[in-house]
Amino acid sequence: MGEVNLARVDERLIHGQVMLTLSQRAGVNSIFVVDDVVAKDKFMKDLYKSAGSRTGQKTIVATTSKMKEYWDKYNLKDYSCILITKTVDVIYELVTHGIPMKELNLGGIAKKDDNDLFVTKSVYLNKDDAIKLKDLNENYGVEDIYFQATPSAARTELKEVLAKFNL
C-alpha cells in the first residue's frame, strides 16, 4: 500500500524550486497532480508531467474521480507521493473519500472574492475552507496542517488561521 507523504494545496501546482525541494523529501518517489481541468487538457497534462519529471519523480496527473478510483483499486500501489491540488475542496473530497494523509501544506491560494480573508503572505481562505481544514484536522487524521509558501518561508499553524475565523 502506498502513502501520501505530503499533501499540498497550491494554485500553481508544480513550480520551480519549491517542488524541486519538496520532491527530495525522504521517501518520496512520485508526484500526483489532482486537477480536473489540467487532467482533461492534453497540453497542460503533458506540461505538468514534464515539469514533474524534472524533479526526478514519476508524475501522475489525474482528475479527482480518477484519483479516488486509483485509491479504491490500488491504494496508491507502492507510491510515496506528494499529492498536489489547487483547492481545499479537492483535498477535502479526497480525504473524506478515504485517502489518508497526515501532513497538509497550504502554499498559495489567491483571493477569489470579497469573502476571502488574507490569512498568510500567500494564502487567502474563506470561512468554508477554514471549516473544512478544521474538520480534516479534528475528524480525519490530518494531524499537521500548516501554511508555508516555500520550505524556507515562515510557517503558520492551522490554529492561528482558524482564530482569524473565530473557529
Set of cell numbers at residue 35: 486537477
- The structure's pTM equals 0.95
What φ, ψ does residue 19 adopt, rounded to 5°?
Answer: -70, -35
pLDDT at 31: 94
pLDDT at 24: 86
What φ, ψ does residue 81 adopt, rounded to 5°?
Answer: -110, 160
Task: Tell me if residue 134 falls in helix, strand or coil.
Answer: helix
Give the mean pLDDT per block of 10 residues along the chain (167 residues): 96 84 89 97 94 88 97 96 97 98 97 95 96 98 96 95 97
Write the DSSP symbol of residue 27.
T
Query: What is the CATH number assigned to the segment(s) 3-164?
Result: 3.40.35.10
pLDDT at 30: 94
pLDDT at 16: 77
Set of cell numbers at residue 23: 520532491
Neighbours of 17 (CB within 10 A): 10
Q: Which residues contact 28 (CB under 8 A, 6 or more apart)?
A: 5, 6, 22, 57, 80, 81, 82
